[in-house]
Structure 1
Amino acid sequence: MARTQAADYDERKEAIVETAAALFARESFNGASVADIAKRGKISKSLIYHYYQAKEDILYDVMISHVRALEAAAREVVDADVRPERKLRELAHRFMALYVGAVDRHKVLLNDLDHLPKARRAEIVTVQRGLIEIVRKLLLEIEPALKKKSGAGFAAAMLFFGTINWTHTWFDPKGPVSAGALAEMAVDLTLGGLAKVAE
């Protein structure tokens, strides 16, 4: 007979991922051990190994949970019946909220992807590429003239992500500029740039 799953299984697993994300973000994947995760989370190593076979499995869950949240937000936005400019603004707001709300996971995603096994790394990259494609298509809807310039849509999408992806290195949620205001600025810069490129 199969062993039944504990009622708080998901909560305990999420707590391990949250703890690991904080440690990996601060110490790097190589700098934090399973023992460190156990100590910080005030749990035993054996409990962690009940949920995960290896530290790389925890790293994968840190990353996949973050990119899947971004993907879900993006899908919800693009399915909305609003103009593409409004979709881009909403997308920027959703992404910034997720970046600020999961800053540790975001840092780990940007810094430790190479530590995942090839197949799992490819899965993460596939989701990331999907997000880039969503933005690229939105930008082409906003500025169809980009279609006439080879690679311009992709470059514009990458520049959009470049304006927000690294905000965790300097952005202070308690500072004078809010995450929402920053999202608006990112879109304004992008839209202004598109108009110039399309000339």
Structure 2
Amino acid sequence: MARTIAKDHDQKRSHILDTAAKKFATEGYDRVSMTKLAAACGVSKATIYHYYTSKEAILFDALDTYLHDLRDRVCALDVESEAPEEALYHVVREILMAYEGSDEIHRVQTTNLSNLSGDQQAILRVYQRDLVEFLSKVVERNAQGVFAGDKEKLRGITMSIFGMLNTYYMWEHAATRTDRETYALLVTDILLRGVRGL
């Protein structure tokens, strides 16, 4: 007879992933054992192993959940009917809003991909690539032919936007929603008008 899934299975799984992200971010992935993680979660080591076979499996699921949800949230935006500038602001703003409350897992993402297998890293890179391509299309609409098929330049601009957003996110932990909206507008203005046009 198949084992039934407990009603609070998803809740416990989320608790393990959230706790792991905090421990990995504050103590370092290499210093957090399954025993230490179980204690931090307030469960037995056996319970941790019931959900995950290894620490690597926890790391992968935490990053997979985060990046999958981020990709789906941003790429689901319906910006085709919006004016190019409005669409750019909409996407930039949504990325900043999606980052809200994700300090630990965001830090884990930037420092721990190398702890995963090549196949696992490839899965996560698909989410990242989808995000970059989505934003690139919005940037290209605003460029009005300036890139003329220069995909490298378009990618460079797109990655620069992500660089600005990630840096702001890492430095401005206490930013309010209004702060994020204001910064999203600043990023849009810098891209479209340059510093002299602000």
Q: TM-score, normalised on structure 1? A: 0.89
- 1:73 equivalent in alignment to 2:73: yes
Matches within 5 A, 1:28-47: 28-47=28-47
Match of 1:136 in 2: 136
SS state at 1:77 partner: coil
Matches within 5 A, 1:101-120: 101-120=101-120
Q: Deviations over 1:138-167 (max 9, x none)?
A: 111111333326221111101010101133
1:38 Cα deviation from its structure 2 partner: 1.3
Q: Any stretches of 5+ residues in structure 2 without a counterpart? A: none
Hey, what's the Cα distance between the residues in 2 that align with 1:80 and 1:4?
44
SS state at 1:30 partner: helix
- Larger mean CA deviation between 119-128 and 149-158 belongs to 149-158
Match of 2:3 in 1: 3
1:9 Cα deviation from its structure 2 partner: 0.4
Equivalent residue pairs, number: 196
Match of 2:64 in 1: 64
CA contact (8 A) 2:67 2:128 kept: yes
Aligned-CA RMSD value: 2.3
SS state at 2:99 partner: helix
Match of 1:163 in 2: 164
1:188 Cα deviation from its structure 2 partner: 1.9
TM-aligned CA distance change 1:126 to 1:193, over 3 Å: farther
Of all paired residues, the percent bearing the same amino acid is: 27
Q: TM-score, normalised on structure 2? A: 0.89
- Larger mean CA deviation between 181-190 and 61-70 belongs to 181-190
CA contact (8 A) 1:143 1:194 kept: no
Q: Any stretches of 5+ residues in structure 1 without a counterpart? A: none
Where does structure 1 differ by over 6 angstroms across 4 or more consecutive aligned residues? none
TM-aligned CA distance change 1:195 to 1:126, over 3 Å: farther
1:193 Cα deviation from its structure 2 partner: 4.2
1:79 Cα deviation from its structure 2 partner: 5.2
Match of 2:181 in 1: 180
Paired letter, 1:115: N
1:186 Cα deviation from its structure 2 partner: 2.0
Paired letter, 1:34: M
Hey, what's the Cα distance between the residues in 2 that align with 1:79 and 1:45?
47
Q: Deviations over 1:58-98 (max 9, x none)?
A: 10111111111221122221456322322221222221122
CA contact (8 A) 2:103 2:170 kept: no
Match of 1:127 in 2: 127
Match of 2:193 in 1: 192
Hey, what's the Cα distance between the residues in 2 that align with 1:115 and 1:194?
40
Match of 1:27 in 2: 27
Q: Deviations over 1:160-184 (max 9, x none)?
A: 1010113343113257x72222222
Q: Deviations over 1:101-139 (max 9, x none)?
A: 211111111111111111010000111011111111111
